[in-house]
Amino acid sequence: MKRRDFLTIGVKSAMAAGLTAAVPVSLLRTHTAHAAILAAGLSDPAAQPLFTNPAPNAMSAAFKYVAKNSKLTIAMGQAIQMTGLVGADGYTPVPTTIWGYGTKELGVTWPGRTLEINTADDPLEVTWENKLVTTMGNNPLPHLLPVDTSLHWAYSLHGFEENSIAADGVPVVPHVHGGLNDSPYDGNPEYFFSPNFGVKGPRWVSKKFYYGGPDWNDVAGMVWYHDHALGITRLNVYAGLAGFLPVRDGADTGAADNPLGLPADPYELGFAIQDRMFRNTGELFYPAFPGDPLYDDFITDEGVELPEDIFPDGGPTALAEFFGDHIVVNGIIWPKYDVEQRQYRVRVVNGCDSRFMRIRLKVISGGAGNSAATDPSSGSSIPFYIVGSDQSLRSSAIQTEEVDFAPGERLDLVIDFKDVPAGSRVIVENLLGDSPFGGDLPKKGDLFPDRRTDRVMAFDVMLPFDGSRPNSNIYDGYLLGGGVGVGTAVRTRKLALFEGTDEFGRLQPLLGTAEPVYDVEGNGVEGAIAWHSPITENPGLGDTEIWEIYNATGDAHPVHVHLVHFEVIDRQAFKADSIEQPVLQHNGSYGIGFRLENIKTLGKPRSPDAQEETRRDMVTALPGEVTRIKMTFSKPGRYVWHCHIISHEDHEMMRPLHVGPGPF
Ligand SMILES: [Cu+2]
């Protein structure tokens, strides 16, 4: 495994010096929790229907919000939704309480309805309302999931210590991910607000948010929106707070006569892929207490035990990572979608907490509508086209048989069902494991027993061809006019990803610098630092910078930078000495982090992958590699950059980013 190879070369000296208390050994995790899952009254993925329930198409006109006079009011609320899950008897459908986005007319849904913006539109004014309250009495709802209040989170901030979810309700703040947002409307984690704006975060600015217009994204791409409240994002998103926000332009219009000739509604599909655990009753489950199934797998690594006296009741505690054993697509478990023998544009969002996927398509002849045709390993692989990702199209379509898919990333694919025999089933297969991704295919110990997470959804080729609608003809090399080009950099920053431990001994992923710098308050800083420490990334307004991100951890981290789109330049192996040092925590105590010394790059740089040759806001930093990106900071003010493993960003793997002069 790459993780172990890297550790031997990368932090060799630190290991020799005995400084690697935090070295992860999660590869050694064994997933033997199957019996425990059943004993705990949780849903057994092996007993759930596969490819039976149709998924809604998030790109269909019926699934979209319709703004009036460029204004929308979108509520976050609680609802009951059927996911296709059946109870312990194996056939009775069970309901799930979810949180979603919605309007009075449409109700709230998971995922939220699709918000489409055209680059030619006037700015859209959205009033986000926190309606996580009881229908009777307007009282704050408790969280659907156990909340760890030991983290730096909304109500742990100075001046908010007296607030609680019980008294004040759940803090939220929507972030439009991939939008060139003005700072006040970016959904910064400290801009949160509670139901009916009873509590407003320390940096809260406005009830109204604006997206679009001439100084916003200027080309078509796939943006999405999700909650970003400080230290509670993983739980708010898990409960259902996420949705699509496609950006259109004059070429990628979404209409049947679009100049690019891309498949259009009803042949343009949108699917949000998420992994979850459920109780047999249908309710969402998140392991947070000792004894919970999978808790031991995801709370801590060997040798880093959670002291019981810190959490006398055993929790709840945040997890180092989370991997659900049920795959949910647009709120439906392992759905199917019926298709014609033609090309479809399929736009997917990886909305999982920690799960990287490697996607492949498997054809099972005669499998359409066949409840026994569920095993991707029995099918044969077919190619598909990558036409774009994140914030833009590619310059041309490229054919592939596999593509990696990181949490937070969006892929824009064209799947050609023309030559797939009628009556076939095409299964979307996932080749990666149920444990942290290190760059390679999983080993046996990285997999859930009897897992169903190797399959995502299926397309059944069984609809009659509708000759009245134009057929698309995307091919390898088909010109699309997208791509990315960022100007000349004025500065190169060396940054790094670290794996330390917090004040309780829990695994704590951290960002920091890979060089000595001064923060905006004039303090010398080097190595890992936590969220609350003064700004270290302060690019000038309009500046273009190269960021070199050295991953000194054992796992891949999907790095997201707000405000910008970036060019992925290259990746290169490196070695360095990893020196242990204390890390100041939000509550004044200390955890353990590292800094890097004697960094040496190794071998030749490696070019970006095909899905990375677009305007990106996500990049996977692999362990033992430096990943180089280039971007221009074109709006002033407060933003953030973070790992998009949501459990990581909630546990300090996030740093503020401030463009231009203060105040900070
Ligand atoms: Cu991470």
Tell me the per-residue pLDDT of 521-580, one tens digit each, with 9 for 90 and over: 999 999 999 999 999 999 999 999 999 999 999 999 999 999 999 999 999 999 999 999
**C-alpha of residue 649 to centroid of ligand 1, in Å:** 7
Name, in order, each residue with C-beta under 8 angstroms of 313's C-beta and a sequence gap of 6 or more: none
* 502 alpha carbon – ligand 1 mean position (Å): 15
Q: Which residues contact 152 (CB under 8 A, 6 or more apart)?
A: 230, 231, 530, 531, 532, 585, 586, 587, 652
Q: Model's pTM, two decimal places?
A: 0.94
Q: In the numeric block, which tokens belong to residue 291?
A: 């004894």
Given pLDDT bands bounded at 50, 70 and 90, which one contains residue 136? confident
Confidence of residue 302 (pLDDT cuts 50, 70, 90): low
Is 475 in contact with 491 (CB distance < 8 Å)? no
For residue 126, the CA-to-ligand 1 centroid distance in Å is 30
Q: Given pLDDT bands bounded at 50, 70 and 90, which one contains residue 304?
A: low
Q: Which of 121, 264, 242, 116 is nearest to 187 (CA)?
A: 242
Tell which residue, 214, 218, 194, has the closest CA to residue 204. 194
- Indicate if the pLDDT at residue 301 is higher than 80: no
**Angstrom distances, CA of residue 463 to CA of 78, 460, 582:** 35, 8, 61
* pLDDT value for 308: 62
Ligand 1 center to 498 CA (angstroms): 9
d(CA 457, CA 468): 28
User: Ligand 1 center to residue 645 CA distance, Å?
Assistant: 5
Percent of the chain with pLDDT over 70: 92
pLDDT grade, residue 297 (50/70/90)? confident
Are the C-beta atoms of residues 458 and 339 closer than 8 Å to each other? Answer: no
Neighbour-count burial of 585, counting CB atoms closer than 10 A to its CB (0-12 exposed, 13-18 middle, 19+ buried): buried
**CA–CA distance, 122 with 211 (Å, rounded to integer):** 9
Q: What ranges make up the beta strands (E) of 186-334?
A: 208-211, 221-227, 242-248, 268-278, 284-285, 326-329, 332-333
Six-digit token pair at 500? 């330390």
Distance, CA 19 to ligand 1 centroid (Å)? 21
- The rounded Å distance from CA 611 to ligand 1 centre is 20
Sorting pLDDT into bands at 50, 70 and 90, what band is 20?
A: very low
Would you say residue 294 has pLDDT above 70?
yes
Gap from CA of 642 to ligand 1 centroid (Å): 8
486 and 545 in contact (C-beta within 8 Å)? no
- Compute, in angstroms, the gap from residue 283 CA to the centroid of ligand 1: 27
